[in-house]
Amino acid sequence: MKKVHIKSFGCQMNVYDGQRMADILAGQGYEETATPEGADLILLNTCHIRDRAVQKVYTELGKLRDLKNGQNATGQDTRIVVAGCVAQAEGAEIQRRQPAVDLVVGPQAYHRLPALLDEARRRRVVDTDLPIDDKFGHLPAPKPAAIRGRGISAFVTIQEGCDKFCAFCVVPYTRGAEFSRPVAAIVSEIERLAEAGVQDVTLIGQNVNAYHGDGPDGAVWSLARLMHRVAEVPGVTRIRYTTSHPRDMDDDLIAAHRDLPQVMPFLHLPVQAGSDRILAAMNRKHTADEYRRLIERVRAARPDIALSSDFIVGFPGESDADFAETLRLVEDIGFASSYSFKYSPRPGTPAADLGDQVAPELMSERLHRLQERIEHHRQAFNHAMVGRTVDVLLERVGRHPGQLAGKSPYLQAVQIEARANQIGDMVKVVIERAGSNSLFGREAGPEGLAA
């Protein structure tokens, strides 16, 4: 067998795409290897969301060029592929900057990998076609052994692309227009995963709650309706979805958190900023108070829900007063966790051309202050779990011998003493301690009492 090493950067959609590329290449006689050394094919599945992510790719490519040259000098035929959003955005520029790259393939063209790899034997190839309706129809289903090797949790892309055009964001340009997969294709993919042991399914999309796929009844289905159907798939015990936009949180979706036991009490709902002036300049199409009211509705449906968000600090024109509004929102909501980033100007996006860019030192200082408050709330959320009994789905071996690691309904990592053959079990766990990144507990008795 030939060997392929796939390294995915960035978001969960890239993790999913990386697995689909591994499935395609398995049909071409490639098996996956965890390291680039010795691989015949090295594939970087890249992220373009911030400049730093892009620079990482070029640094990595420099190292891979040396590896390729070294291996090929000993008679191997190592080739390098760049896939993902940097491929889409920079195209042939990648091979100009790093001639060791044999093939550049965008996120909507990777179903053509076998033919492109053939063609790349004769010349350098770039394929960044954007229409995406035919990609999913051409992807081979993963083999049951491949599914089992990836564990009991899986991502399933149900929607791609974005029509929102936030002023800072490259996604509408790198992933293209919004597209929803048909319900039947999603359900059969999830059935296949569940038959091979997957229990925990995360439905993913750049704008997942804008989902509007063709249903088997000829109607257009919403995300809420799709989740009701996914909840019927035997073996699926947990359903999550990410990433949502506040504008697309409809009543049915909120109600699904109340009505479907499989839908986990966790919602990642990026707000980006707390100042209405900045939200308008970002083209987010909602105010901070609209976001607060939305969270009230979600909490009314599911009072224990854990909330998470993304924040950008230092968007052009952000004043001290604007930033104070972001801090106020963080205190008002009390997020269980959040991601936060310094604004990174992206070529081709409207915000990159705005004047009044915030000085880098000020951005760093604001990011530091914001992260300190986010961390405070995360720790408070985790410490409040101590003494509670929660369902934990055991997923893999833990950090120390005799430990297994799993997730709480609130997406927290939980470690307990357990036997290796309990992987895949849903157990009741009494939380005894909150560490900085994980909760620690012990298995409870049958009635949820400590054993």
The residues of the shown chain that bind ligand SAM, judged by CB under 6 A, are: 11, 49-50, 168-169, 171, 206-207, 243, 245, 270, 272, 310, 312, 341, 343-344, 346
End-to-end CA distance of the chain: 49
If one asks whether residue 169 binds ligand SF4 (CB under 6 A), the answer comes out as yes
Nearer to ligand SAM, 13 or 194 (CB): 13
Q: From ligand SAM, ligand SF4, none, which one binds at residue 198 (CB under 5 to 8 Å depending on kind)? A: none
- Specify the stretch interacting with ligand SF4 by CB under 6 A; choose among 74-82, 167-175, 227-235, 386-394: 167-175
Work out the number of other CB atoms within 10 angstroms of the CB of residue 84: 31
Q: From ligand SF4, ligand SAM, none, which one binds at residue 346 (CB under 5 to 8 Å depending on kind)? A: ligand SAM
Work out the number of other CB atoms within 10 angstroms of the CB of residue 419: 10
Nearer to ligand SF4, 64 or 208 (CB): 208
**Token pair for residue 138?**
């051409």
Q: From ligand SF4, ligand SAM, none, which one binds at residue 172 (CB under 5 to 8 Å depending on kind)? A: ligand SF4
Nearer to ligand SAM, 10 or 213 (CB): 10
Nearest approach, Cβ of residue 159 and ligand SF4 (Å): 11
If one asks whether residue 268 binds ligand SF4 (CB under 6 A), the answer comes out as no
- Specify the stretch interacting with ligand SF4 by CB under 6 A; choose among 13-21, 111-119, 127-135, 169-177: 169-177
Q: From ligand SF4, ligand SAM, none, which one binds at residue 344 (CB under 5 to 8 Å depending on kind)? A: ligand SAM
370 Rama class: left (phi>0) / alpha (psi -120 to 50) / beta: alpha
Nearer to ligand SF4, 167 or 427 (CB): 167
CB 197 within 8 A of CB 188: no
Nearest approach, Cβ of residue 385 and ligand SF4 (Å): 30
Nearer to ligand SF4, 222 or 242 (CB): 242
Q: From ligand SAM, ligand SF4, none, which one binds at residue 409 (CB under 5 to 8 Å depending on kind)? A: none
3-state SS class at 391:
strand
284 Rama class: left (phi>0) / alpha (psi -120 to 50) / beta: alpha
Provide the CB-side half-sphere exposure for 85 (13 A, CA): 28
Q: Which residues in the 172-201 window bind ligand SF4 by CB under 6 A?
A: 172
The values of phi and psi at residue 326, to 5°, are -65, -45
CB 209 within 8 A of CB 223: yes
Nearest approach, Cβ of residue 35 and ligand SF4 (Å): 32
**Token pair for residue 294?**
């939305």
Distance between CA 206 and CA 213 in Å, rounded? 15
Nearer to ligand SF4, 150 or 247 (CB): 247
Contact code string over 204-243 relative to ligand SF4, x by CB under 6 A: --xx------------------------------------
Give Cα separations from 260 to 49, 250, 252, 255 (angstroms). 34, 16, 11, 8
Nearer to ligand SAM, 82 or 269 (CB): 269
Distance between CA 402 and CA 418 in Å, rounded? 6
Quote the strand ranges of 224-349, DSSP E.
238-242, 266-268, 306-313, 337-342
**Single-letter amino acid code for the residue at 202:** T
Which stretch of DSSP H or E encloses residue 179?
Answer: strand 179-180
Q: Is the peptide bond before 243 cis (omega within 30 degrees of 0)?
A: yes
3-state SS class at 429:
strand
Q: From ligand SF4, ligand SAM, none, which one binds at residue 165 (CB under 5 to 8 Å depending on kind)? A: ligand SF4
Q: From ligand SAM, ligand SF4, none, which one binds at residue 312 (CB under 5 to 8 Å depending on kind)? A: ligand SAM
Nearer to ligand SF4, 31 or 51 (CB): 51
CB 14 within 8 A of CB 47: yes
Nearest approach, Cβ of residue 164 and ligand SAM (Å): 7
Q: Which residues in the 147-166 window bind ligand SF4 by CB under 6 A?
A: 162, 164-166
Name the residue among 42, 24, 39 with its Cα closest to residue 100: 42
Site of interaction with ligand SF4 (CB under 6 A): 162, 164-166, 169, 171-172, 206-207, 245
